[in-house]
A and B are shown apart, each in its own frame.
Chain A
Amino acid sequence: MSYLTGPPSLRAWLFTRDHKRIAWLYLITISVFFAIGGLAATLMRIELATPAGDLVQADIYNRLFTLHGTVMVWLFLIPAIPNTLGNFLLPMMIGARDVAFPRLNLLSWYVFSAGGLLVLWSLLAGGVDTGWTFYTPYSSTYTNSHVILMAAGIFVTGFSSIFTGLNFMVTIHKMRAPGMTWFRMPLFCWSMYATSLIMVLATPVLACTLVLIAAERLFGVGIFDPALGGDPLLFQHLFWFYSHPAVYIMILPGMGVISEIVPCFAGRPIFGYSYVAVCSMAIAILGFLVWGHHMFVSGQSIYAGLIFSFLSFLVSVPSGVKVFNWTASLYKASIRLETPMLYALGFVGLFTIGGLTGLFLATLAVDVHLHDTYFVVAHFHFIMVGGMLMAYLGGLHFWWPKMTGRLYNESLGKVSALLIFLGFNLTFMPQFLLGYLGMPRRYHSYPPEFQIYNVLSSAGATFLAVGYLLPLVYLTWSLFRGQRAEENPWGAHSGLEWATASPPPTHNFREPPRLEGQEWGAAPLLSSVRL
């Protein structure tokens, strides 16, 4: 009996402690938030199709990009892979029956949903116009929008991050099956561990920063507002101390997914397993030391800027190592271009462009020119959408047969993967040029000479929208009508999840798995499993 055919009532789902069912609760919730954030982006792209401000005026536009940023970052990207695929796969990959604290896992979903509802409430109450970064003193003193409500929502969702991170770390440390050593774990588990470390240590700093903003608004104390004797740079330090590592919360899980898909469809173990594993940890640790590169033009000391610039270059090294490892795994391999692999290859290319343009921005002098332009927007969308979202969709397609026991329509899958890849490039490539030519971000109108790039970008966004809607249709259809999937439909060889039924039984394995034989690199993991 599988976890899906257990008690089917709504009550059984809402009070479940099964990590696989909680993954579905998260999957549905974040899909709703993705649609809301996407809707805001659609309105913005329609507005930007013409130079004049005709669809919305500045105040509405400000609320739209704040909503888009806040919802996409905190309610979609941060939980996207860890709480859906991570929740579903992590215990199975290490051969455990569940995460270490199943009740805490369920609590994290309730806390997340409560925070999400607060954010939506702030939207219905009239929205926030500060941008997702809440820069002071505008957010703390001058704006009359609903900052406190939205900050409260993000504060609350932060706890769901901390709970999940704590849960995953303990699960990886203490719940591995006999014989599952650290360097035999699938690389996805390493990326989950690195992500969890950041969730646990960085999120509380965001929590206290949001409390300080609310306090400055409520009591008029001078913490961040220079007019009251405070320091706005303090806010930026505290905010980016969380929000830069948060970028790695968003991309590390994506790297983990790619490290599972690439070896499967290249038909061989990944090149340099231990380097990829260690690089995940290196990114997590170095990621804590680079926040100052957001503040090169904010009045930070030039010497601090130099050091932060150097450290930002340093963090690109482990990311580069990973790209080389994925590429080397493809060298002379017999590659199967099925849907998940198309997403994975898209990820590698787009992430490389996103990463390299990040180095432009980490260069002190170049950043003076590019700061706060569309170049920055294009850069982080290459990482977040071209990287993370591609990885998320790739992972969803890769593990969909495992999660549901059904196969989806492969040709529609390939069409939507290609559509998303092309649409993405059409949307965001022109934004690099726009930024280089000097168009600042966060404006609803612009001089006519920028129109051609904006029209291209808006056109690409329509392709993207179709590309995102297609999977919703054929994946939902496959839930009811899809062909039954076997245990291991892709012939994958790197994780224990493929050694159990599709969909898995409630306790994941009929008998606890034991691993025998050699270390990971020498033989594919599945061949050493005794169930």
Chain B
Amino acid sequence: MIEEQFEDLEQQQQAYSLGMWIFLASELMLFGGLFLAYSLGRFTHQTEFAQASLDMKRMLGALNTAVLLTSSTVMAFAVDRGEKGNWKGAARLLLITAFLGLVFLGIKGYEWHEEFLHFKVPGPHFQGDAGEQLFFFFYFTLTGLHAFHLSLGVLAVLTCAGLARYRPPAEGSPIMMLGLYWHLVDLLWFFLYPLLYLIGTRP
């Protein structure tokens, strides 16, 4: 369906795709500010950050990295099916993508729960020194913001999958745009994982 402000389908698709790229650039600046603050914190509290990072569950983080990487692969196939006009196939793959996103969120939620039980949430009950608390603050902010983006992604993917089943869109661009977003959220995690989980060395 062509919206009334556009001349033709191609213009509409190009506009949506460019809009998504600009949005992603804006997202990078949002995370960029937090990465800068994290870098300064790590620079001024090197030992505390390394120490606090040892409390992370590395294996669960690695597992989550694998889950998210797989979901991105499936998403790439879904985009491909969508472009070829295979809506049933695309919808099936989108459901798998969303499922893997939910698995990631489940594992992440379990980790948060564990950290909550061990008094690692910043605030009056935090157990550790100021530098460690700063590390955990960045940990919760960055992973929280990431999980928020992923949740929005899961909702959008499920909506798109449902729509594709019952009312196939006339063009492949919604899935393509979802793919762009999903890959960015995925990519952000590949920076978060080493920065938060892997900076400490065990004695």
Contact = CB atoms under 8 A, between A and B. Distances in A.
Interface of A: 96-102, 162, 165-167, 169-170, 173-175, 200-205, 207-209, 211-212, 215, 219-223, 228-231, 234, 237-238, 241, 507, 512
B59 interface: no
Q: Which of A201, A204, A205 has the most CB of B within 10 A?
A: A204
Which 6 pairs of residues, A with B, have the shortest CB-CB distance?
Answer: A204-B30, A98-B5, A208-B33, A229-B130, A221-B137, A204-B29
B15 A229 contact: no
Q: What does DSSP make chain A's interface, helix, strand, loop or mixed?
A: helix
A176 B14 CA distance: 13
B36 interface: yes
A220 B134 CA distance: 10
A215 B40 contact: no
Interface stretch (B20-28, B80-88, B176-184, B187-195): B20-28
B67 to A, nearest CB: 26
A145 B15 CA distance: 44
B133 A222 contact: yes
Contact of A221 (B33, B36, B134): B134
B40 A231 contact: yes
Contacts of A507: 4
A229 B45 contact: yes
A205 B5 contact: no
Given A101-B19, A170-B15, A229-B44, A205 B124 contact: no
A325 to B, nearest CB: 29
B26 A166 contact: yes
A292 to B, nearest CB: 14
Contacts of A221: 122, 133-134, 137
Contacts of A102: 3, 5
A204 to B, nearest CB: 4
A174 B11 contact: yes
Nearest to B44: A231
Given A100-B5, A170-B18, 6 more contacts: A162-B26, A174-B14, A204-B27, A208-B33, A208-B37, A223-B134
Interface of B: 3-7, 11, 14-15, 18-19, 22-23, 25-27, 29-34, 36-37, 40-41, 44-45, 122-124, 130-131, 133-134, 137, 141
Name the residue among B32, B33, B34, B41 with the largest chain A CB count within 10 angstroms: B33
Contacts of B37: 208, 212, 223, 234, 238
A221 B38 CA distance: 13
B123 A220 contact: yes
A219 B123 contact: yes
9 contacts: A99-B5, A174-B15, A175-B6, A207-B30, A208-B31, A208-B34, A220-B124, A222-B133, A230-B41
Contacts of B25: 200-201
A100 B3 CA distance: 9
B131 A229 contact: yes
Contacts of A203: 26
A202 B29 contact: yes
Contacts of A212: 34, 37
Given A220-B123, A221-B134, A229-B45, A205 B29 contact: yes
B105 to A, nearest CB: 21
B19 A215 contact: no
Contacts of A97: 4-5
A166 B19 CA distance: 6
Contact of A170 (B7, B22, B31): B22
A107 B3 CA distance: 17
A512 B5 CA distance: 11
B134 A229 contact: yes
A100 to B, nearest CB: 4
Contact of B23 (A99, A166, A209): A166
Contacts of B15: 100-101, 170, 173-175
Contact of B36 (A162, A204, A238): A238
Contacts of B29: 201-202, 204-205
A278 B5 CA distance: 28
B202 to A, nearest CB: 25
Contacts of B33: 204-205, 207-209, 238, 241
Interface centre among A162, A215, A221 (most CB of B within 10 A): A221
A8 to B, nearest CB: 21
B40 to A, nearest CB: 5
B19 A170 contact: yes
A204 B34 CA distance: 10
